[in-house]
Amino acid sequence: MAKRVFNFNPGPAALPLEVLKTIQEELLDYRGTGMSILESSHRGAEYEDINNQAMALARDLFGLGENYKVLFMTGGASTQFALVPMNFIGDGQVGAYVDTGAWSSKAIKEAEIEGKMHLAASSKSAKYAFIPKMSDIKVPGNAAYLHITTNNTIFGTQYQEFPNPGAVPLVADMSSDIASRRLDFTKFAFIYAGAQKNIGPAGVTLVLVRDDFLATGRGGLHTMFSYKTYADEKSLYNTPPCFAIYIMKLIFEWIKKQGGLAAVEKVNRAKKDTIYGMVDKHPEYFKGTVEKGSRSWMNLTFRLPSEELEKKFLSEAKASGFVGLKGHRSVGGIRVSLYNAVPLEGAQKLAEFMETFMKKNP
């Protein structure tokens, strides 16, 4: 039996053990084909089946009808930052953005390259410690869309309610909280997520796009930069990241088997309550870095009384089998990433470790 740690990496992140085992079992001989799915043609029946099933599972999981296309793309969420404004901002329009952290800022930078960015709200002046109030998000009438980052992986904040921009389509980067809780996904015209946190390995980016929004896409773009290509060709215009999509399909099945997003949400709630519970029990020692109403369930950030103690905490945690807890280099401190594949036991053991560490290092 392989020795496994409690993996709190911010992404790429923990994958479900059950899924890893299936991958291992199917690696050399995929379902009687005598070869690995890694070696199979993306035009073959086995891969076509994976592609179709992954799309159907995504629709099912997110409660989306046939009026949404499920696309599998490459280039990570960072490529989406560029493709969204490139495809969807038409003549005389702007892309409206809410700036809630490093990833929003990078998305904004790409819209600025298009020369058509409108800042709808920002929490930058407060070091991104909160999600702006919905009433503070101002969307101009000529906005092609309103872009939000539903979970801010680095700063540890997350939307608990969503803006309603009326007729303006809502676009969301859900890279770090997709499939972690129940949502009305039909509120969004366009959702994208790099898979490597909650739904798979690095290499595939999931896109969910509503047909009416897709239809507003600009023509005349290079083939691989146009969402229409992926929609028309079922993401098989060129060679897709087959293995990553296969793993994503296994993860969708794993979520479904547990009882879907309701079941996953229940466990995620218990996990975040366990860690925030410890932070709130000893607030003078574990200092939360964001406003309580904006706290992320996925990336929980806090500081210790000194940087020396933080270093000691990280090295002792690692020695005890808890890895990936270092805060992002731009903010420091501790960040506990509790994506779907992190078991409740991991959060419980970590909370015990936190309390013991605090008592030993007052």
Q: Is 194 in the site for ligand PLP (CB under 6 A)?
A: yes
Least Cβ distance, residue 194 to ligand PLP (angstroms): 3
Q: Which stretch binds ligand PLP (CB under 6 A): 172-180, 252-260, 305-313, 331-339?
A: 172-180
Q: Is 153 in the site for ligand PLP (CB under 6 A)?
A: yes
316: its two tokens: 């002792």
66: its two tokens: 């046939």
Residue whose CB is less far from ligand PLP, 76 or 305: 76
Catalytic residue among 99, 103, 249, 297: 103
Cα 327 from Cα 253, distance rounded (Å): 31
Least Cβ distance, residue 173 to ligand PLP (angstroms): 5
Q: Is 103 a catalytic residue?
A: yes
Residue whose CB is less far from ligand PLP, 40 or 157: 157
Q: Is 78 in the site for ligand PLP (CB under 6 A)?
A: yes
Q: Pick one of 12, 44, 76, 343: the residue that binds ligand PLP (CB under 6 A).
A: 76
Least Cβ distance, residue 95 to ligand PLP (angstroms): 16
Minimal CB distance residue for ligand PLP: 76
Cα 248 from Cα 51, distance rounded (Å): 10
Q: Is 9 in the site for ligand PLP (CB under 6 A)?
A: no
Least Cβ distance, residue 176 to ligand PLP (angstroms): 4
Q: Are the CB atoms for 295 and 157 separated by under 8 Å?
A: yes
State the residues that interact with ligand PLP by CB under 6 A: 11, 76-78, 103, 149, 153, 173, 175-176, 194
Q: List active site positions.
A: 103, 173, 197
